[in-house]
Structure 1
Amino acid sequence: MAYQTVEEPILLALVQDSPVSFNLEASIQKLKVLTRDAAEKASKQAESTYGKEMAENAPIVVVFPEAFLCAYPRGYDFGAKIGSRTPEGRAWFQRYHASSVPVCDVEGPEMTAIRSAASENGVTLVVGVIERCDKPESGPRRGAYGSENAGGPGTLYCTCLTISPQGELLSSHRKLMPTGSERLVWGQGDGAGIRVVDTPAGKVGSVICWENYMPLHRMAVYAKGVEVYCAPTADTRDTWTSSMRHIGAEGRCFVISCCQFNVRSDFPDDYPGYPGLAGDEIVTRGGSMIVGPLGEILAGPLFDQRGILTATVKRSSLIEAKMDFDPSGHYARPDVLRLVVDGESKEAARCV
């Protein structure tokens, strides 16, 4: 049998941009436009190597930043100090809650519009949202795509959604551990959201921001066979680049790390987080990138501007990379080390 020399490409894309903060409807419309733009850019990049027909039919993954729908409230403390809260801070929390996404209402207007961004463009869509829990379920039950915990009507979660090219909600991962002051406004997720799902582009999983600094969390995702590791984040430091390169090499997977870029004018005029800052001054500088399974940078990092990054990859390079290191295979040493995850079912899932 002749060795197959032409392998179907996989197209990876990310969008480094800002939502219309605290305006969910406008942010969803922006999501749709930018998803289309990312899919078109990824296909065009692949054309020169694979030809137009193969590029147009290749599976695409498009990733958006943490809290893209529809605000990462950088710079604001919601009027909270140890032992006291202000009425103004409570009012801004209510405004934040009102502009968040009712994920469990899968067939409701907000989630239908978000899911259509994937189906209208034929992409696997990974997008960070702020999740609210005050609407009844519609469509699939919570446990089919994430945690069975309904949450409280006033609780928000920092969540990452993965949506199929047909518009099906595949997974909803709530951030396990909000960082620092995030813990004031976001609840904690649970192990049911640690999922890796099958897509036309391969097995896709999501790990949010500083969850990527949790070694056991990373290992749980590796053990589930992740191939496209999505890392929506709010971390804009130069050191983030080295962390993403390490994860690519450690997990022998493709890594798509996506951060927002925004300036003061991307927030409401009365937003109290940046008093006196000019409208064009940068609030979040980005740093998004795509990394290969040996830790090599395939695109980015992109700083200090809006933009779309793309990379055309081959699934075979994942197996090539695992010749000498497979974190959940011959390098796992289950006779010595064992990870137990309280996950999707009542029984603990062992990752060995």
Structure 2
Amino acid sequence: MTKRVKAAIYQAAPVPLCIDYGIERLIEQVGDAIDIGAELIAFGETFLGGYPLWLDEAPGAAIWDHKGTQALHSIILDQALRKNDPRLVPLQALVDASGIIVCVGGHERVRSTITNTQYIFRPALPPVLHRKLVPTHGERMIWGRGDGSTLEVHAADWGNLGQLICWEHWMPLVRAAMHHEGEAVHVAAWPTVREVHLVASRHYAFEGRCFVLAAGTIQDRSELLEGLARVGGDVDALALIKGMPEGQLQFGGSAIIGPDGVIIAEARADADLLIADLDLSAIGRGLAALDTDGHYSRPDVFELRIDRRARTGVANAIDGLAPRTRRKSDKPAD
């Protein structure tokens, strides 16, 4: 029996900085996708909070002790999503009621560090999280690194759904790890799907024999200024953003790609809602020629080991770990 899933990409402008309002907008956009019959909807990188464009576009943003950069970091840290964040309860309720699956990225706070985190919201289950393993270039000023504990997929009725963020698609061992999970559909989250990003997404689809939703965003400098005003503004942050070029700074380019690497649907640089009916039987046909996790893998020559432990930097003396050394202050009283 042919298995099919109706998948969509919502290419839109995030609400920069103000994640509270961004979640409200996201719920409305998910409702739009439900109205057109989508079973799976994907959004671009850090859609909740917006991509930190000032790192690329604002002169001097990387200067040590730059007041504007510090102010924007503080705003995002305050707004960032937390574990079991109550602000996400209405989104989860909508997912539960409709049966839709939502893939969306956002800024997440892990203790006192911000991470670039992609979420899969699925009915009647907690979200699947993936934290970007290596922030790219200037992104290291704002995001910490993820670990192997979030290399997971969601087992949907129609097949496995996975996700990676931006330049992770040029990490060969990460691709191998995800291909081993047998993805039917993969979400590739980008700020803008530039030409070379589309090449990476098409290559991933062909190599992994899966459908790829390459999801990008659009963003204008004026929207950054509006987002800053929503969170109360800051004179240093305002000066930094005003130093950026005027006009559009992110340019969409989202695409839905088949397991043969062929583009099924593609957006331009404006707001769009792409949708495609994915025939998952195409995956099996493609595997006849290429299975990079199977008959093309040569496990007798190559072996990949993945550390899936959460790395918090602090290990307590529990669960079979060696007991800590007794300190003088631990000695029993006489």
TM-score range, shorter chain: 0.7 to 0.9
Shift of 1:111: 2.5
Change (3 A) 1:31 1:271: farther
Q: Does 1:74 find its partner at 2:53?
A: yes
Name the SS for the 2:212 alignment partner.
strand
Q: Does 1:16 find its partner at 2:3?
A: no
Name the counterpart of 1:184: 141
Where is the helix percentage greater, Structure 1 or Structure 2? Answer: 2
Shift of 1:310: 0.9
Name the counterpart of 2:290: 325
Name the counterpart of 1:169: 126
Name the counterpart of 2:182: 225
CA RMSD, aligned part only? 2.1
What is the CA–CA distance in structure 1 between the aligned matches of 2:308 and 2:297, rounded to whole Å? 20
The higher-RCO structure (CA 8 Å, 6+ apart) is 2
Name the SS for the 1:207 alignment partner.
strand
What is the CA–CA distance in structure 2 between the aligned matches of 1:121 and 1:273, rounded to whole Å? 39
Change (3 A) 1:114 1:339: same
Change (3 A) 1:89 1:220: same
Name the SS for the 2:175 alignment partner.
helix
Name the counterpart of 1:129: 106
Superposed, 1:73-112 pairs within 5 Å as: 73-76=52-55, 81=62, 84-102=64-82, 104=83, 106=84, 108-112=85-89
Shift of 1:345: 8.2
Shift of 1:25: 1.8
What is the CA–CA distance in structure 1 between the aligned matches of 2:239 and 2:36, rounded to whole Å? 34
Q: Does 1:298 find its partner at 2:293?
A: no
Aligned counterpart for 1:335 among listed residues 300, 304, 314? 300
- Asked whether the 8 Å contact 2:218–2:251 carries over to 1, the reply is yes
Aligned counterpart for 1:204 among listed residues 161, 174, 180? 161
What is the CA–CA distance in structure 1 between the aligned matches of 2:52 and 2:62, rounded to whole Å? 17
1:88-140 superposed Cα distances (whole Å, 9 cap, x missing partner): 322221111122111x1x2x42131332342243211111011013xxxxxxx
Superposed, 1:251-270 pairs within 5 Å as: 251-269=208-226, 270=238
What is the CA–CA distance in structure 1 between the aligned matches of 2:146 and 2:135, rounded to whole Å? 9
- Asked whether the 8 Å contact 1:20–1:266 carries over to 2, the reply is yes
- Asked whether the 8 Å contact 2:11–2:218 carries over to 1, the reply is yes
Change (3 A) 1:296 1:271: farther
Shift of 1:276: 6.7
Aligned counterpart for 1:38 among listed residues 15, 33, 39? 33
Q: Does 1:27 find its partner at 2:7?
A: no
What is the CA–CA distance in structure 2 between the aligned matches of 1:344 and 1:125, rounded to whole Å? 26
Poorly superposed stretches of 4+, deviation over 6 Å? none
Segments of 5+ residues of structure 1 without an aligned counterpart are 44-59, 134-152, 347-352
Shift of 1:201: 3.5
- Asked whether the 8 Å contact 1:194–1:343 carries over to 2, the reply is yes
Q: Does 1:289 find its partner at 2:266?
A: no
Change (3 A) 1:181 1:94: same
Shift of 1:237: 1.9
1:138-195 superposed Cα distances (whole Å, 9 cap, x missing partner): xxxxxxxxxxxxxxx32000000111123x2241110000001110110000011111
Shift of 1:8: 4.3
What is the CA–CA distance in structure 2 between the aligned matches of 1:118 and 1:224, rounded to whole Å? 24
What is the CA–CA distance in structure 2 between the aligned matches of 1:276 and 1:252, rounded to whole Å? 40
Matched residue type, 1:273: I
Shift of 1:275: 3.0
Name the counterpart of 2:231: none
What is the CA–CA distance in structure 2 between the aligned matches of 1:190 and 1:181, rounded to whole Å? 19
- Asked whether the 8 Å contact 2:55–2:62 carries over to 1, the reply is no
1:190-232 superposed Cα distances (whole Å, 9 cap, x missing partner): 0111112201332011110000010110010000111111111
- Asked whether the 8 Å contact 1:66–1:232 carries over to 2, the reply is yes
Name the SS for the 1:110 alignment partner.
helix
1:52-72 superposed Cα distances (whole Å, 9 cap, x missing partner): xxxxxxxx1111111011121
Name the SS for the 2:177 alignment partner.
helix
Name the SS for the 1:287 alignment partner.
coil
Matched residue type, 1:194: L
Change (3 A) 1:276 1:242: closer
- Asked whether the 8 Å contact 1:193–1:343 carries over to 2, the reply is yes
Q: Percent identity?
A: 30
- Asked whether the 8 Å contact 1:13–1:309 carries over to 2, the reply is yes
Name the SS for the 2:291 alignment partner.
coil
Shift of 1:39: 2.8
What is the CA–CA distance in structure 1 between the aligned matches of 2:207 and 2:193, rounded to whole Å? 22
What is the CA–CA distance in structure 1 between the aligned matches of 2:183 and 2:265, rounded to whole Å? 20
